[in-house]
Amino acid sequence: MGPLARRDARAKLAAALVFLVCVGTTPAGNYQRMAALAAVAIVWIAIARAGLFRSLFQASAILPFPLSFGLVSWWVSGDPTLAVALVVRSYLSALVVVLLMSTTTLADIFRGLQSFGAPAVLVLVLQSLTRYLQVVVDQGLRMRRASISRSGNTGRRYSLWRRAGGALAVLFGKSYGRAENVHRAMLARGFQGTFIALRPHALEWRDFALTAVAAAMSVGAAWR
């Protein structure tokens, strides 16, 4: 566990927010600032021991979306500057989100959002969504195992995905049923719309220091 993982989620959220604002307000075409912000992100990934290449790879999952919109923007305006800015901003934002996710549990992120005054409904929807995704993945794995056990594993991914695709409706039907059961279990144990933390974290000086240093680095990189 790297040093960032031990820090309070609120400190990391605040630092990430400052970074995102800096990325968002960097003018298109100012590649020097963007490179400086990328360097800041890479330094924090190294400090967190989050795995540089893994993080860079995971963040690239977002690229198809800004690339598509960027190409459209380039085609319409004839100027590639905005398109490049869109892709770089999206990628850097994704990179910092990947860093946040790899050093903080989802439960802590939700608690952090809650204590920052994020609407309770929004936090609840996010929590329910992640729990539902867990259920869908779990159900998907069960169905995949069942499928392999009956048809034999051909070892070809395509074949597996094709089978999974054919069973998509069943997967969501079953996941819906399981999600209902999870919700019932929560209701049965007194859940009334808000998650309550067992151990609310108290911010330490190290957390404040983390936010201050990270924010200073982001602002310094963006306004140099």
Partner 1 sequence: MIIEVKGLSYRYSDGTDALRGVDFRMEASESVALFGSNGSGKTTFLLHVAGLLEGEGSVRIAGEPFTRSSAPALREKVGYVFQDSDDQLFMPTVLEDVAFGPLHRGMEAREAENRALELLRQLGISELAGRAPYHLSAGEKKRAALAGVLAMQPEILIFDEPTTFLDPPGQRELAHLLLALPQAKLIATHDVWFARQVASRALFFEKGRVVADGPVDEVAARFDWRLH
Distance (Å, whole) CA 75 – CA 186:
51
Assess 169 for contact with partner 1 (CB under 8 A): no
Assess 203 for contact with partner 1 (CB under 8 A): no
Distance (Å, whole) CA 36 – CA 14:
20
Q: Which of 62, 65, 132 is nearest to 101 (CA)?
A: 62
- Please give, one letter per residue, the 3-state secondary structure of 157-202: HHHHHHHHHHCHHHHHHHHHHHHHHHHHHHHHCCCCCCCCCCCCCC
59 vs 171 by CB, closer to partner 1: 171
162 vs 184 by CB, closer to partner 1: 184
Which of the ranges 4-12, 29-37, 184-192, 203-211 carries the binding residues for partner 1, by CB under 8 A? 184-192
The contacts of residue 190 (CB under 8 Å, 6+ apart) are none
Assess 188 for contact with partner 1 (CB under 8 A): yes
**9 by DSSP, 3-state: which?**
helix
Site residues for partner 1, 91-150, by CB under 8 A, read 105-107, 131, 138
152 vs 190 by CB, closer to partner 1: 190
Assess 202 for contact with partner 1 (CB under 8 A): no
How many residues comprise the chain? 224
Shortest spacing between CB 197 and partner 1, in angstroms: 7
Assess 184 for contact with partner 1 (CB under 8 A): yes
Residues that bind partner 1 (CB under 8 A): 105-107, 131, 138, 178, 181-182, 184-192, 196-200
